Amino acid sequence: MSTPEETIRFSVSLPRPLLDELDRRVVGKGYASRSELVRDLIRERLVEETWERGDEEVAGVLTIVYDHHQRELTQHILEVQHQEYVHVVASTHVHIDHHNCLETIILRGLPAQIERLSQTIGGLKGVRFSALTRTSRLGH
Ligand code: NI
């Protein structure tokens, strides 16, 4: 009998060049074993597929860097977050220097809602950098 949390060992056949590539990544990324890397690759793919399907609630972190001196930009960023408050879980603002502000905004909702909100904020004039980290529930 197998339990849900049981770890199963199975063998995989790979062409030598692909295995070499895998092993370079194991070393390069500091993984303890091939298994650890393969588990992470599978989880990454599962998250991607959940976002592509689009029918399940997911979470994301939007990281932005913006010009503190851009007129009314801070106000616009806040307004967008208030309008979409159901999707905004939390946000953190850090003043990285005299000109630049960094903000991380944790978002929750359907993938399309998070993508749209991220594009709206990322597209505001004066936002110099914008990157969305996509995550989802992983029961394994
Ligand atoms: Ni600031």
Same domain (yes/no): 73, 120: yes
Contact status, residue 52 vs residue 109, Cβ threshold 8 Å:
no
- Gap from CA of 134 to ligand 1 centroid (Å): 24
3-state secondary structure of 134: strand
- Selection from 63, 67, 65, 93 nearest residue 78 by Cα: 93
H or E, element range at 94:
strand 88-95
Phi-psi region of 109 (alpha: psi -120 to 50; beta: other; left: phi over 0): left
- CATH code of 39's domain: 1.10.1220
What total number of domains does the chain contain? 2
- Gap from CA of 95 to ligand 1 centroid (Å): 4
Q: What is the mean pLDDT of the chain?
A: 94
Known binding residue 93? Answer is yes
Same domain (yes/no): 63, 131: yes
Q: Is residue 119 part of a domain?
A: yes
Same domain (yes/no): 45, 72: no
Average pLDDT over residues 75-91: 93
State percent of the chain over pLDDT 90: 89
Same domain (yes/no): 66, 126: yes
- In the predicted model, is pLDDT for residue 2 greater than 80? no
Same domain (yes/no): 31, 68: no
Q: How confident is the model at residue 137 (pLDDT cuts 50, 70, 90)?
A: confident
- Gap from CA of 127 to ligand 1 centroid (Å): 12
Same domain (yes/no): 100, 127: yes
Q: Which residues pair with 92 in a beta bridge?
A: 104
Look up the domain containing 109 and give its range: 58-135
